[in-house]
């Protein structure tokens, strides 16, 4: 074959199927030794290729390089059990790591009395290759849907539909608490290929949390963000007008905080003075269900629609289409501050985290940047009929559009073009067949 002579040997780690079949044909007409010299490979490799000729002929893409392991596993029954176990855990929504798979393999090997099975990271890696098990990034975190989720969902829809009658869109709301950290590093970063240490700088505050309570109404309005810091006193400073500051020892939305939120945020919504009746959808967090909170809402004329546990991803407007936009915008401001922002340092040289004023400024901008379409589509995706043809202000709104309003966006045309290119790059990466190696 041209380019592969004894005088012009080439060292390759892998060969295409066409190359292997050509070498096999040459060996069958001559000998393994002559084929090895002609194609520049060891004679033993030619012998191995001839043994798997039938398997090579079955591979449809002859120009590709085979990566399949054709050798049969030593403990086939163990691998069948382990694959079944992994798929069962994933069916139930449980996370499975390589180490947990190895623990299960060793445990089952003992039950099978496999004395010669030691189990190692390398064995798990080869098991994954043989059984088409790959490492994947987690796309969502949360509870599984309950067994009776359909009946619970229908009951919730019926309750909301009955209680939203004669209410204006501006009197129907959804509130949710978003946990946030002072440092917000993303899971991925751009880096030169081949770098083994891909480290991201932070101020060391990625475990320091605070809570942002967000609330939207069905007409697309955003109520002021209610920020709860973990401290005994309120922080001092100049804060944006669309931010309400609070503090407690756990930075959580307790029963007492809910009652403060009602006074400082919910009661201040548009037209609340004239429209005394309202409807608010909440998840079933403990702080939302106390008798004091229920009595407070009742005095204000607000009917609470408590979302059943495990159904927030289907019924919580903010979870469906708003929180992701908010947190993405918030991370953008943190990343910009880390690269270009003014920073202060301790005497020992450690970078201080952003101030309360800076944090609240980011929250304000990130909340403003959430598009109207995200809110309205969130209400629509609950499949509860909030909108109909009688809504004059929404007649011309395109519910299928995910574009941001021009007056609410935070990117210009040049940034938008760059973003589209990056989206294509990351989509190509996510859709590639390349498998991550086992760590």
Q: What is the pLDDT of residue 394?
A: 59
In CATH terms, 6-58 corresponds, of 1.10.10.10, 3.50.50.60, 3.40.50.300, 1.10.3720.10, to: 1.10.10.10
* Across 21-35, 63-77, 295-309, least confident range: 63-77
Q: Considering only residues 308 and 414, tell me which one the structure prediction assigns the higher pLDDT.
A: 308
Q: What is the maximum alpha-carbon separation in the chain? A: 97
Q: Considering only residues 430 and 236, tell me which one the structure prediction assigns the higher pLDDT.
A: 236
What is the separation of C-alpha 156 from the centre of its chain, rounded to a whole number of angstroms? 27
Q: What is the pLDDT of residue 66?
A: 55
**Mean pLDDT for the chain overall:** 81
What whole-number distance in Å separates Cα of residue 401 and Cα of residue 152? 30
For residue 399, name the pLDDT band (cuts at 50, 70, 90). Answer: low
Q: List, by residue range, all CATH 3.30.420.10 domains of the chain.
A: 149-185+204-342+351-408
pLDDT at 175 over 80: yes
For residue 302, name the pLDDT band (cuts at 50, 70, 90). Answer: very high
CATH of domain 76-130: 1.10.10
In 283-433, which ranges are E strands?
A: 302-306
Domain 149-185+204-342+351-408: CATH superfamily, name plus number: Ribonuclease H-like superfamily/Ribonuclease H (3.30.420.10)
The predicted-structure confidence for 132-157, as pLDDT tens digits, reads as follows: 888 776 666 666 666 778 888 899 99
Q: What is the pLDDT of residue 188?
A: 73
Closest CA to 382 of 318, 290, 438: 318
Q: What is the pLDDT of residue 144?
A: 66
Q: For the whole model, what pTM was predicted?
A: 0.64
Q: What is the pLDDT of residue 397?
A: 60
Element (H, E) at 353: none
Q: What is the pLDDT of residue 166?
A: 85
């Amino acid at each position: 074959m041209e380019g592969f002579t004894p005088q012009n040997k080439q060292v390759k780690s892998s060969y295409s199927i066409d190359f292997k079949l050509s070498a096999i044909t040459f060996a069958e007409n001559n000998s393994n030794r002559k084929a090895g010299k002609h194609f520049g490979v060891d004679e033993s490799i030619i012998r191995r290729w001839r043994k798997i000729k039938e398997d090579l002929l079955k591979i449809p893409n002859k120009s590709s390089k085979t990566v399949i392991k054709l050798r049969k596993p030593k403990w086939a029954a163990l691998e069948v059990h382990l694959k079944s176990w992994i798929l069962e855990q994933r069916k139930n929504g449980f996370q499975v790591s390589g180490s947990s798979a190895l623990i299960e393999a060793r445990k089952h090997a003992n039950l099978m009395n496999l004395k010669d099975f030691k189990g190692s990271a390398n064995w798990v890696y080869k098991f994954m290759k043989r059984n088409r098990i790959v490492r994947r990034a987690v796309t969502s975190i949360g509870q599984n849907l309950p067994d009776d989720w359909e009946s619970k969902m229908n009951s919730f829809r019926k309750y909301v539909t009955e209680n939203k009658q004669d209410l204006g869109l501006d009197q129907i709301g959804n509130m949710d608490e978003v946990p946030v950290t002072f440092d917000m590093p993303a899971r991925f970063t751009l880096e030169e290929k081949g770098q083994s240490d891909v480290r991201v700088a932070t101020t060391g505050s990625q475990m320091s949390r605070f809570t942002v309570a967000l609330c939207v109404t069905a007409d697309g309005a955003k109520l002021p963000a209610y920020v709860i810091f973990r401290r005994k006193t309120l922080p001092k400073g100049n804060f944006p007008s669309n931010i309400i500051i609070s503090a407690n020892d756990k930075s959580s939305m307790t029963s007492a905080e809910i009652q403060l939120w009602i006074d400082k945020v919910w009661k201040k919504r548009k037209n609340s003075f004239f429209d005394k009746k309202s409807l608010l959808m909440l998840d079933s967090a403990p702080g939302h269900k106390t008798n004091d909170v229920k009595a407070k809402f009742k005095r204000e004329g607000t009917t609470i629609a408590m979302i059943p546990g495990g159904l927030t991803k289907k019924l919580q407007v903010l979870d469906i289409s708003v929180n992701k936009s908010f947190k993405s915008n918030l991370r953008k401001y943190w990343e910009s501050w880390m690269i270009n922002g003014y920073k202060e340092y301790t005497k020992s040289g450690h970078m201080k985290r952003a101030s309360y004023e800076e944090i609240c400024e980011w929250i304000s901008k990130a909340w403003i940047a959430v598009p109207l379409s995200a809110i309205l589509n969130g209400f629509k995706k609950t499949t509860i009929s909030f909108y109909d043809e009688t809504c004059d202000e929404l007649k011309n709104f395109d519910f299928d559009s995910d574009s941001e309003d021009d007056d609410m966006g935070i990117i210009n045309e040049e940034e938008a073009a760059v973003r589209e290119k990056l989206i294509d790059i990351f989509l190509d990466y996510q859709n590639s067949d390349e498998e991550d190696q086992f760590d």
